[in-house]
Structure 1
C-alpha cells in the first residue's frame, strides 16, 4: 500500500482546519466543492459536477480492469453556533462543522492524493456528497444519475464515531443506522380568556395529552423485539399569559428499521392525534414526512471492510449495536452493494458528541481514515500479477 508522509498528513490537517473555519450548509457548499475539485484536478482526477447540485466526484482510472468502487465523503455543515473555542473555529456565525464532515473530506482527499501515485488496477470514484444533514443529498446525487453515469461495483462510506475508542472500527453485516421521519401535528381548538377556559376548547390540554399518548406507540404498538422511536421535540402555542390560544403545533421525529414498523408509526400518530384532539373538542391535522430509509449494509461489502481493516495495525475491529440516528448514505446502498462503517474518534478528556456546539473532529483519526481508504482500494482494485 502506498504510504502517506507526515508532511502530507499535516497538510491534510490544515485542509481540515480551513474547512472547519468556512462551513457551508446543505446544497450551499460552493466554496467547499471548489476547494475539493481544485485539489483533485492537481492529482490527475477527472472532475464530475452536477450531481446533487454541489456534489463533486473525482475519478481516477489505472490499468485495464473494468472494476470500479466508490468512496463517499459528506461535505455539509450544520446550522449551529460554535462554542468549541478552538483556534480554527467557524468564522461564519450560526454555522459549524459539528459532525466532522470537514474531517471526512480531508481523510478522503489525503487518500485520493496518495492513490494518485499508487499502482491499482481499475477505477476509483471519490464521491463528495452535499446535504447529508436532513436534506437528502445522497438521494439527489442518485436521482441525478450518479450510478448511471459512473458505474461502480460497490460503494463505501465512513463516519467518525466519538462514542468509540480511537481507531476501533464497526462494520455490521446488516443494520447500521435507522430510517427516520418527521411529523407536525396542528391541534386546533377555540381560544378563550385564560380565566374562562370553559368558553373555549383548549388545544394546549389536548396537545399535552397527545404528547403523552404518542409514547405508547413504541411501547404498545411495536414488538419489543423491534426498534422504534417517537420523540416530540417541539411544542409551539400561545403568546400571552392570560389567553388560551386557538392553535398548538407539535413537532418531532420518528425512527425505525423495518418498513412495516415505519408505516405503523405513521398510522398510529394520525389515529392518536385525531382521536385525542376530538375528545377535547379540538381537531388535529398531521403533516408526516418519511425522510431517509434505514442504512443497511451488504454483508459481503461489510466483510471486505473488515478484511481491509485487518491489514492495518492501528485499527481494531469491534462490534456494536446499530444506531437509531439516520444517514442518507442509505439511498446509495439501495442502488449499489456497499458498506457504511464507523471509525472510533474518542478524545481524551472532554469528548463532545456529534452535533454538539462544542464538537471538533479528532485530527488523530485523519491518518487512520486515509489509510483505511487506501487499504480498501488495494483490496478491491489489486494490480494484476
Structure 2
C-alpha cells in the first residue's frame, strides 16, 4: 500500500519540471525588499491556478495561502521568503537575472518554489490532513523587517507552530541540517559618533584627531568579547564602516563608525551594549574627545524548539534524507521573530552550490526543489498529528 510519505516523494518528482520553471522565472525577475510586487502577482496567480485558497495578508507585497484539511485539527505555518539582493549576477546562466544590480543571490527563489510545491502537495492530499496549513511567502527578509510586518498583520493568529529553511550550499542535495537550540545569531546594529577638534595636518597638537580616536576605539573593541563575555558564550563584534575627513591635509572634527554585534545567548546580547558604551566613551575621553554609541536592536537568535526539531527529524527520516547536525552561523534571520511567539524549527536544506550566500556567482542544484517540497509537506503532516 502506498504511504503518504512515498506519495509525497512521487508527486513532488512529477511537479519538479513545473517548480523549476517557476524558480527560474522568479530568478530572472528579482525584486528587492518591499518591492516584490510582480513576484507577489506571480505567486497569487500560481497558487490560485492550483486551487489553493489565499488569505488577505493586508500588506503591499507577500502572500499568505491556506490549505484546510478534511478533518479538524490545529493550524501550523510553513514559511518562505521572496526578496532578492542588490547584487549584479555573474553566473552566466541562461535564466540569469534580467535586471542589472539585482539578483536572487541568497536562494529565496528556491525557497519560494519549494514551498509552492509543498502547498500543491498538501492541497492534493487535503482529504487526509487533520488541521490547517498556512503557507507564508514573506517579503523583506533581507532588510529584517518583513517578519515583523507579517506578525503585525495578524498572520500568526491561531497558528500553533512554524517551520522554515534556508538553502545551504556546502551540504549536498538530499542532506538536511537540523539542530535543537540556537542556529542563527541575534542581529544588532551600532553607530559610534566621535567628536574631536579639527585642525591643520601639520599642527596636530592644536587638534583632537577623531581618526586616531576612532582607530583606538576599533582596537579596544577587539578585546570586548574576550574580556567581557563568558568563554562559554559566542559573540562577534564587527566594525564595517569607518568614515572621517575629506582632505589629505585637514584633520576633521568628526568620525563615524558603524557595525554589528552577533550572539547566540540572550545574556551576552543583553550585556554587550553596556560594555561597549563604557569602552567607547572612556577611550574617547582618554584622547580628549567625545564619543556617543547609538544602539539598534534588530533580531533575536533563531532558536529551535526541541519538539519541532524532532518533527523535522521524523519528516526527514520518512523522506529518506540524510540528516546531519546543523552547524550554527552568525548570520541572522527574521524567522527568529516568529519563534519568539511560537515553537518552531528552521533547518538547512542541502543544495550543493559552489558559492556562499550573497555572492555574484551564487548557484544551487535545482534537484533539491522537489526534495524540499516533499519534506515540508511531510513535516506539516507530522506536525498536525503531533499537535492535534
TM-score interval for Structure 1 and Structure 2 normalised by the shorter chain: over 0.9
1:7 Cα offset (Å): 5.3
1:168 Cα offset (Å): 1.6
Superposed, which structure 2 residues align to 1:62-81 within 5 Å? 62-81=69-88
Counterpart residue number, 2:334: 328
CA distance in 1, matches of 2:323, 2:346: 14
Counterpart residue number, 1:299: 306
Give the structure-2-normalised TM-score: 0.93
CA distance in 2, matches of 1:96, 1:113: 26
CA displacement 1:172-229 (0-9 Å, x = unmatched): 1111111110111111111112122112110000000100111111111001110111
Query: Counterpart of 2:32 in 1: which secondary structure?
Result: coil
Conserved? CA contact 2:57–2:64, under 8 Å: no
User: Cα RMSD over matched residues?
Assistant: 1.6
Whether 1:186 aligns to 2:193 is yes
Give the structure-1-normalised TM-score: 0.94
CA distance in 1, matches of 2:165, 2:87: 22
CA distance in 2, matches of 1:6, 1:302: 25
Q: Which residues of structure 2 form unaligned runs of 5+?
A: none
Counterpart residue number, 2:141: 132
Counterpart residue number, 1:146: 155
Conserved? CA contact 2:31–2:39, under 8 Å: yes
Match of 1:120 among 128, 137, 140: 128
Counterpart residue number, 1:360: 363
Whether 1:242 aligns to 2:253 is no
Aligned residues: 376
Conserved? CA contact 2:57–2:155, under 8 Å: no
Match of 2:277 among 245, 253, 270: 270
Match of 2:223 among 210, 216, 219: 216
Counterpart residue number, 2:239: 232
CA distance in 2, matches of 1:49, 1:242: 59
Query: Counterpart of 2:99 in 1: which secondary structure?
Result: coil
Counterpart residue number, 1:253: 260
CA displacement 1:213-250 (0-9 Å, x = unmatched): 11111111001110111011111111211111111111
Bigger Cα displacement from structure 2, 128-137 vs 300-309: 128-137
Conserved? CA contact 2:190–2:295, under 8 Å: yes
Query: Counterpart of 2:170 in 1: which secondary structure?
Result: coil
- Structure 1 runs (4+) greater than 3 angstroms displaced: 49-53
Q: Cα–Cα, structure 1 residues 246 and 11, in superposed 2: closer, same or farther, change >3 Å?
A: same
CA displacement 1:34-54 (0-9 Å, x = unmatched): 111111111222212335542
CA distance in 2, matches of 1:183, 1:52: 29
Counterpart residue number, 2:116: 109
1:55 Cα offset (Å): 2.3
CA displacement 1:41-98 (0-9 Å, x = unmatched): 1122221233554221111112121222111001111122222222222222222111
Q: Which residues of structure 1 form unaligned runs of 5+?
A: none
Conserved? CA contact 1:120–1:381, under 8 Å: no
CA distance in 1, matches of 2:326, 2:378: 22
Counterpart residue number, 2:344: 338
